[in-house]
Amino acid sequence: MDVKEIRKQFPILDQEVNGHPLVYLDSAATSQKPISVIEAMNDYYRGYNSNVHRGVHTLGTRATDGYEGAREKVRNFINASSTQEVIFTRGTTTAINTVAASYGRANLSEGDEIVITHMEHHSNIIPWQQLAKETGATLKYVPLQEDGTIAIEDVKETVTPQTKIVSIMMVSNVLGTMNPIKEITRIAHENGAVMVVDGAQAAPHMKVDVQDLDCDFFAFSGHKMVGPTGIGVLYGKKKHLNKMEPVEFGGEMIDFVGLQESTWKELPWKFEGGTPIIAGAIGLGAAIDFLEQVGLHNIEEHEHKLAAYALNKMNEVEGMTIYGPNDPGQRAGLVTFNIDDVHPHDVATVLDAEGIAVRAGHHCAQPLMKWLNVSATARASFYLYNTEEDIDKLVAGLVKTKEFFSDVF
Ligand code: 7TS
């Protein structure tokens, strides 16, 4: 993998911020976009902008081909068995909400259980809280190990025959932990529950095979995988999607409309009410082309190397607390940390003055912050365009932050 060549495809990286070359270490929040993705969307708007699925005119046909062609790219990317199982959504959040509102409302009632973990992102907590309130179901949490991993024994203890839904992230956006989703899915199925996977931090970084995982639903966002904002995917097994009611009603998703009753289009369109996110889907298709050309295995390996390098270097800085598994083999390409006596927002501000972009805050995971016993942390997250040099600059910035604050106090 030639990172130098890859970087040339991301024009945004070639700029100075606060007088320093930009070091972008916030890809877990959103990734940057290569020229091919930007151009694919430009080409659509400049050359064949039209609505899809309706007209016979030439531009409309091209737009439909682009949109449905992107669906096939997604199908192949996650190895779904059919494009009927690939629903375009606004992102991970919308995808999980769709499962909760459609599958959840139809299948849960008082006495049933929903199981999640203490490390989930808010978008994989709140839809289930709301569903539990509406249906009288109970929301249960799998506890975490000291090092921020999930023990299979704890999953076995928490999931029971009353559990109807298990919903767990594949990779943590805070701890970097890679969770044993295949094993957890097996436990969910043994208890008669469906398995929902929040794949927002997995799909961009490793090869995902939904058939191998055997999960029932899988959600991810385009913008974290070099694609545009506003587009994401809900994968669902056909046997569930066929029985599920749509959650948005209107144009595009109907077959026959009468005065009192209507019928729905077949999968996947019954879940895509209204004019869809055409440019976004086309951009996501180009993003998938880009990632596959580099190779998901190469990306994963590169990020593991960066994470191991970062853990090593950052552990050498005095007063540093690093969260999540110590073993780089157990974590994806991000490092969440705190420096003694310095607020993470101050860390991020000092780093920003050096042109280094990291995220500080609760990372949309307040229950996890509570579990870690902190109010906030700083996080550096890596992607295919980051280098060891970026990490050297981060570490130099952290040393500077420490010096700055020890002078102040
Ligand atoms: N799930 C996980 C694991 C995430 O990391 C995120 C976004 C989401 C769901 C929600 O995705 P969306 O595209 O629907 O917003 N995570 C982050 C983050 O870590 N920093 O900013 C956004």
Contact of 336 with 144, CB cutoff 8 Å: no
CA-proximal residue: ligand 1, atom 4 (nearest): 200
Active-site residue, selected from the candidate residues 364, 369, 374, 396: 364
CA proximity to 88, closest of 236, 224, 277: 277
Q: What is the pLDDT of residue 36?
A: 98
Contact of 89 with 233, CB cutoff 8 Å: yes
Question: Does residue 215 carry a catalytic annotation?
Answer: no
Q: Which atom of ligand 1 is nearest to the CA of 120?
A: 3
Give the span between the Cα atoms of 347 and 336, in whole angstroms: 12
Give the span between the Cα atoms of 145 and 80, in whole angstroms: 32
Block residue for tokens 């995808």: 95
Quote the ligand 1 centre to 389 CA distance (angstroms): 26
Quote the ligand 1 centre to 56 CA distance (angstroms): 38
CA-proximal residue: ligand 1, atom 16 (nearest): 29
Quote the ligand 1 centre to 332 CA distance (angstroms): 15
- Cα angle 149, 319, 328 (rounded to 5 degrees) comes to 30
Give the span between the Cα atoms of 96 and 91, in whole angstroms: 9
Give the span between the Cα atoms of 396 and 394, in whole angstroms: 5
Give the span between the Cα atoms of 58 and 30, in whole angstroms: 35
Instruction: Give the 3-state secondary structure of residue 255.
Output: strand
Residues with C-beta less than 6 Å from any ligand 1 atom: 28-29, 91-93, 121, 123-124, 169, 173, 198, 200-201, 221, 359, 363-364
Phi, psi (rounded to 5 degrees) for 342? -125, 130
Domains defined along the chain, listed by start: 3-26+295-408 (3.90.1150.10), 48-292 (3.40.640.10)
Place 360 in a pLDDT band, splitting at 50, 70 and 90. Answer: very high
Q: How far is CA 219 from CA 2, 26, 183, 285, in A?
A: 30, 21, 18, 16
CA-proximal residue: ligand 1, atom 2 (nearest): 200
Phi, psi (rounded to 5 degrees) for 256? -120, 135
Q: What is the pLDDT of residues 123-146, one digit of tens each?
A: 999 999 999 999 999 999 999 999
Q: Which atom of ligand 1 is nearest to the CA of 224?
A: 13
CA-proximal residue: ligand 1, atom 22 (nearest): 29
Block residue for tokens 């091209």: 62
Instruction: Give the 3-state secondary structure of residue 22.
Output: coil
User: Facing residues of 88 across strands?
Assistant: 233
Q: What is the pLDDT of residues 206-233, one digit of tens each?
A: 999 999 999 999 999 999 999 999 999 9
Q: What is the pLDDT of residues 1-48, one digit of tens each?
A: 899 999 999 999 999 999 999 999 999 999 999 999 999 999 999 999
Residue ranges of E strands in 206-352 = 217-221, 232-236, 254-257, 262-264, 320-323, 334-339
Q: What is the pLDDT of residues 235-256, one digit of tens each?
A: 999 999 999 999 999 999 999 9
Q: How far is CA 125 from CA 108, 140, 364, in A?
A: 16, 10, 10
pLDDT (average), residues 370-376: 94
